[in-house]
Amino acid sequence: MSSKKRREEDEEEQGQGSGTARKQEGLYPLLLMILRMTKNSPYPFWYGETHAGCGRNRKVDCEGSPLTFGRAARDSGKKEINAAFCDINPVAIEELRKYADVLPSDSLFFCQNNADFLLELTCRIRAKEPNPKFAWGAIFCDPQKYRDFPIKALAEFMFEFRKIDLILNLNATLFQMFQGCKESLNGNVPVKHMDKPTRRELIAMFHKKYWLVRNLVGKGHRFTLCYGTNNDKFFHEGKHFLDFYDINSVEGKMIFDALHNVNPDQLEFPF
């Protein structure tokens, strides 16, 4: 492998890929909508990122997801926010701390395994909420590779906190490979992939009634931004916004199952 190719792969792992700007274009309005729905609630909004990164993509000169959340939090007017950001890379998390002034006040930073981070967040919600199962909020999970994906811990977290939404930047290409292995009839299926879930099996683990999916981003490995919620007020059957679609609509199935983008024809949010 050439040094250039290796460097490009390392940058992708650190959230420095060329698709970051496109991802943030969808993430900001989604976060803004979720925050505005809870703006008048007297209860705090819980927010966590399992793969926070350093806060900025230097490769394409755009903000990373923590700064996108900070901007959405300010623009939403939501006052009480408990935000926590995790990354396994100590250099990245120290760099992210430098942006504390543009993040919600008293934001917490963790350098640890993301499964342990979700357990830490669980303990904090239990300790601070009078009725933890009614806690509001969102988790943003952005794993680049399967080994970085805390599936079991995330499923347990979502089972306990049904009102906390899940935003998942899913490597659709990777899970397509797992599905292809299961469907292969040539007898040469890698055993290591046989226990991996398909995309549909994966989202079923997270205890969300409704899912929206966004047009795919990236070359080679392609990602789709998925939003899972149990909020009946949010979901408008048959409606979509920007290039997000109900996962069970014709367009949603085209994106999520067939990995083909569709042309958005509605640019307004329902809220």
The residue ranges of every structural domain in the chain are 3-238
Rounded Cα distance between 271 and 77, Å, is 15
pLDDT, position 243: 79
pTM for this prediction: 0.87
pLDDT, position 91: 96
Rounded Cα distance between 121 and 106, Å, is 14
Q: Which residue has the tokens 């290409």?
A: 173
Is residue 158 within 8 A of residue 207, CB to CB? The reply is yes
pLDDT category at 59 given cuts 50, 70, 90 is confident
Provide the residue type at 248 as one letter: N
The secondary structure of residue 217, as a DSSP letter, is B
Q: Are strands 81-86 and 164-171 parallel, antiparallel or unpaired?
A: unpaired
pLDDT category at 236 given cuts 50, 70, 90 is low
For the CA atoms of the chain, what is the radius of gyration?
Answer: 18
More confident position, 172 or 73:
73
Q: Which residue has the tokens 């590779």?
A: 145
What separation in angstroms does the CA of 263 have from each of 21, 192, 244, 252?
19, 37, 10, 12
Q: Which candidate, 74, 67, 58, places its Cα nearest to that of 18?
A: 58
Which phi and psi angles does 74 have, rounded to 5°?
-65, -45
Q: Report the chain's mean pLDDT, rounded to a whole number.
A: 85
Is domain 3-238 given the CATH code 3.40.50.150 in the classification?
yes
Mean pLDDT value of segment 27-48: 92
Instruction: Judge whether residue 232 has pLDDT over 60.
Output: yes
Task: Number of helices (H) and strands (E) in the chain: give both, helices first.
Answer: 9, 10
Which phi and psi angles does 199 have, rounded to 5°?
-60, -45
Instruction: Judge whether residue 188 has pLDDT over 70.
Output: no
Rounded Cα distance between 116 and 120, Å, is 6
